Amino acid sequence: MRISDFDYELPPELIAQHPAPERAASRLLHLDGRTGALEDLAFRDLASLVDSNDVLVFNDTKVIKARLRGRKDTGGDVEVLVERVLDEHRALAHVRASKSPKAGRKLILADAIEAEVLGRVDDLYELRFEGGATVLDQLAKHGEVPLPPYITHKPDAADESRYQTVYAREPGAVAAPTAGLHFDERTLQALSEKGTKLAHVTLHVGAGTFQPVRGEVSDHVMHSEWYSIPEATVEAIEQARARRGRVIAVGTTTLRALEASAASGALRAGSADTRIFITPGFEFRVVDRLITNFHLPKSTLLMLVSAFAGLDNVRRAYAHAVAERYRFFSYGDAMLVERAA
């Protein structure tokens, strides 16, 4: 595989800068990975495309206000993006500054927070947030919604609600599991009334989800993300299998959690970190169908979808989406993808 295999031309105006007026008002491109067939639908059609024997698995992570701006105690400007909360007062973060801050230096953030640099952990900085409030409380009060780099406006009140799924409950993500942004309460109710089982995992999405692949595919090292799979979700998947139903992952993050857990055999409940890198040739053990957004050229997420549905199928689907003026990336339209094999 070459990185150029996962490239495509995207007119900039197709990058969605704002969400659709209503969550479920987006379009849905249905790709059958077995036949390559494409069908243009609306996201509200989803309930008609699933069966009462199926199980949909959602990622219930909650986006935190992870971005803080401020200055170093030496005076230079600094921007902090919290990647992972370690405990009540410590976090790992990306720090942008003209000169890298050294251990022991203080950062004054949002004119309200003082954080001490404890040291480096690979490309991240370990910070200790001072004061009595927890890291999460201080971020909630003073931080900004960490919109992706391709969204050009500053985050506003609308982003605080729309760059978050309606079922988010476990704080810790610095990027939204964007396939879930299309679901509203009405859609979830329609699925439940049909008898389709709804289950959850948690995977705290890191900023590395936007990291480009540098060099060739074989050289890339995935970022680490924490996930947890409850016993109830494992049971729901086993019951769906017994009914000959399908396992539908809502988002690539959900798929990564499920397939990482099952990498050594059967799906198991529990928590772990994963660096799973899914590229064409990967053997899928759990997921039959995938709901996902359209992903960046040369990205690991596009490689994952290509592994799931077939590289040629995905190339044709993306060319079709561009020609039909679908909206791309986090606030864009969605796909329902059937596994190739």
pLDDT (tens digit, 9 = 90+) per residue, 255-269?
999 999 999 889 999
Please say whether the dihedral angle defined by the alpha carbons of residues 59, 62, 67 and 73, taken in this order, is positive or negative: negative
pLDDT (tens digit, 9 = 90+) per residue, 152-194?
999 999 999 999 999 999 999 999 999 999 999 999 999 999 9
Q: How many CB atoms lie within 10 A of CB 279?
A: 17
221 falls in which pLDDT band (50, 70, 90)? confident
Q: For position 289, what pLDDT does the model report?
A: 98
Choose among 220, 228, 223: nearest CA to 121: 223
Our measurement of the distance from residue 40's CA atom to the centroid of its chain's CA atoms, rounded to an integer in Å, reads: 24
What is the CATH superfamily name and number for domain 67-142? QueA-like (2.40.10.240)
Residue pair 39/30 in contact by the 8 Å Cβ criterion = yes
278 falls in which pLDDT band (50, 70, 90)? very high
Select the more confidently predicted residue: 209 or 324. 324
Choose among 129, 11, 27: nearest CA to 80: 129
pLDDT at 219 over 90: no
Q: For position 122, what pLDDT does the model report?
A: 87
Domain ranges of the chain: 3-63+160-338, 67-142
CA distance 195 to 305: 28
pLDDT (tens digit, 9 = 90+) per residue, 83-118?
999 999 999 999 999 999 999 999 999 999 999 999
Q: For position 211, what pLDDT does the model report?
A: 75
% of residues, the chain, pLDDT over 90: 92
Q: Global pTM? A: 0.95
CATH architecture of 3-63+160-338: 3-Layer(aba) Sandwich (3.40)
CA distance 278 to 311: 13
Residue pair 236/199 in contact by the 8 Å Cβ criterion = yes
- Give the three-state DSSP class for 271: strand
Burial of 190 per CB tally in 10 Å (0-12, 13-18, 19+):
middle
Q: For position 223, what pLDDT does the model report?
A: 85
Q: What is the mean pLDDT of residues 317-333?
A: 98
DSSP summary character for residue 286? S
CA distance 318 to 314: 6
Select the more confidently predicted residue: 219 or 31. 31
213 falls in which pLDDT band (50, 70, 90)? confident
pLDDT (tens digit, 9 = 90+) per residue, 224-242?
899 999 999 999 999 999 9
CA distance 125 to 148: 20
CA distance 22 to 140: 25
